[in-house]
Amino acid sequence: MFNKITVFFLIISFFACGTLYADDILDLHKQEQSLTIPKLIEMAKGHKGARSDRWESDNPDDLKPLVSSAWLFLYEIEGTTFTETVVFNDEITLLDDGAVAVMCVVESGRTGMAKYMDLPDMEGNGFGVFILGTVMNKIFNFQVAGNTASGDYFSQTASTGDMNGPYDLVGFKIVDGETVERPEKINGGYKATENLWMRGVIQTDEGPIDGVFYKGGDSMTARGDRVVWGYFYASPNDVPWGSKDNPDLYVKIWFDAGGRIDVNYFHVSVPEIDVYSDYPYDGSYDKKGTATMNERYVRHEFQKQ
């Protein structure tokens, strides 16, 4: 069920939903408000505790259980079990009506948003996730207890608004944002570890821009070596083609058990990228190189101190 393809999806697209633009977010919000919520409220009439409208939280703290996390949801329709992996963004968005939401993406690449709200189909407050589709919208309404969730799943025909459901829903947190280390940004670069700093400057047609570093992993081998990996990407705020899901420069840092440190840069883009490394970090870089389409590999070597 939770196979290698899903794991690969999580690694590559964990922060991809961060590239939604304001118009995309507004469209999601309008679709949900105009098409989906009235149908849910209508279906819930007569349910104990049901309301004639739906309260939505304006408190960012209410969304913390979802921020920077990934969840595996399961639901059953007519004896067939379906799964959906939902990856939530690391930023909370303030909507035009004062409510707060966290953006998300599913395995198909469809985007959506989650809010903390009064759930018309359930008693009390919980999370409502709305995934916008071209043919079918998906709605996950659930309450969280630790690393598990339970609630209802609905599908909705996008063209007519017709609803199907509710279907019993359960969920499991499979990636916890609280365990994801956020590298410290300083002097245009990032401290990939406690005392190793690096920077990637992408030479775009619009001019040089600082690459954003995403740290993908940090672990030890059985022999005692430490390996850190991640990548630099162009921010969508700087260039229209920039995206967290569009790496420009991969980085692998190898702390050999014998004391050697290799900082390896691998170019996977078109523009030239100037790379800088500093160890131990003292505010000024020790080594510089340029990764290009012709010379894609740059290596900086240090000795552990």
pLDDT tens, position by position, 116-158: 988 765 667 899 998 888 888 899 999 988 778 899 999 988 8
Output the DSSP codes for the chain.
Answer: ---HHHHHHHHHHTTGGGG--HHHHHHHHHHIIIIIHHHHHHHTTTSTT--SS--B---GGGGTTTTT-EEEEEEEETTEEEEEEEEEEEEEEE-TTS-EEEEEEETTS-EEEEEEEE-TTSSSEEEEEEE--SSEEEEEEEEEETTEEEEEEEEEETTT--EEEEEEEEEEEEE-GGGS--PEEETTEEESSSS-EEEEEEEETTEEEEPEEEEEEEEE-TTS-EEEEEEEE--TTT-TT--TTSEEEEEEEEE-TTSEEEEEEEE-SSS-EEEEEESS-SSS-SEEEEE-SSS-EEEEEEE--
pTM listed for this prediction: 0.50
Q: How confident is the model at residue 109 (pLDDT cuts 50, 70, 90)?
A: confident
Q: pLDDT at position 42, please?
A: 56
Residues 167-194, mean pLDDT to the nearest whole number: 79
Q: pLDDT at position 160, please?
A: 85
**Residue that wins the pLDDT comparison between 80 and 140:** 140
Do 169 and 229 share a domain, yes or no? no
Q: Confirm if 279 and 287 have CB atoms less than 8 A apart.
A: no
Do 166 and 90 share a domain, yes or no? yes
Residues contacting residue 264 through CB under 8 Å, at least 6 positions apart: 251, 252, 253, 254, 297, 298, 299
Do 154 and 167 share a domain, yes or no? yes
**Residue that wins the pLDDT comparison between 110 and 178:** 110
Q: How confident is the model at residue 183 (pLDDT cuts 50, 70, 90)?
A: confident
Q: pLDDT at position 125, please?
A: 84
CA 128 to chain centre: 18
Q: pLDDT at position 87, please?
A: 86
Do 141 and 163 share a domain, yes or no? yes
Instruction: Give the count of domains, the chain.
Output: 2
Degrees to nearest 5, angle at CA 101 with 27 and 35: 40
Asked if the model's pLDDT at residue 290 lies above 90, the reply is: yes
Distance CA(147)–CA(134), nearest Å, equals: 31
Among 31-35, 144-148, 168-172, 183-187, the minimum mean pLDDT is found in 31-35
Do 42 and 54 share a domain, yes or no? yes
Distance CA(281)–CA(283), nearest Å, equals: 6
Q: Confirm if 231 and 252 have CB atoms less than 8 A apart.
A: no
Among 18-22, 49-53, 284-288, the minimum mean pLDDT is found in 18-22
Do 157 and 22 share a domain, yes or no? yes
Distance CA(114)–CA(255), nearest Å, equals: 40
Where is the domain boundary, 178, 208, 231?
A: 178
Asked if the model's pLDDT at residue 63 lies above 50, the reply is: yes
Q: pLDDT at position 20, please?
A: 42
What are the distances in angstroms from CA 74 to CA 32, 86, 153, 161, 168? 22, 11, 9, 23, 8
Do 38 and 150 share a domain, yes or no? yes
Q: pLDDT at position 274, please?
A: 98
Distance CA(76)–CA(152), nearest Å, equals: 10
Where is the domain boundary, 150, 178, 206?
A: 178
Residues 78-90, mean pLDDT to the nearest whole number: 85
Do 195 and 254 share a domain, yes or no? yes
Q: pLDDT at position 49, please?
A: 44
The residue type at 156? Q
Do 67 and 158 share a domain, yes or no? yes
How confident is the prediction for the chain on average, in pLDDT?
A: 80
Distance CA(275)–CA(287), nearest Å, equals: 8
Among 16-25, 145-154, 183-192, 195-204, the minimum mean pLDDT is found in 16-25
Do 43 and 129 share a domain, yes or no? yes
**Residue that wins the pLDDT comparison between 20 and 227:** 227
Q: pLDDT at position 198, please?
A: 97
Asked if the model's pLDDT at residue 267 lies above 60, the reply is: yes
Where is the domain boundary, 118, 151, 178?
A: 178
Asked if the model's pLDDT at residue 275 lies above 70, the reply is: yes
Do 293 and 208 share a domain, yes or no? yes
Q: pLDDT at position 25, please?
A: 46
Residue 44: CB atoms within 10 Å: 19
Boundaries of domain holding 249: 181-303
Do 47 and 131 share a domain, yes or no? yes
- List pLDDT tens digits, range 245-258: 788 999 999 999 99
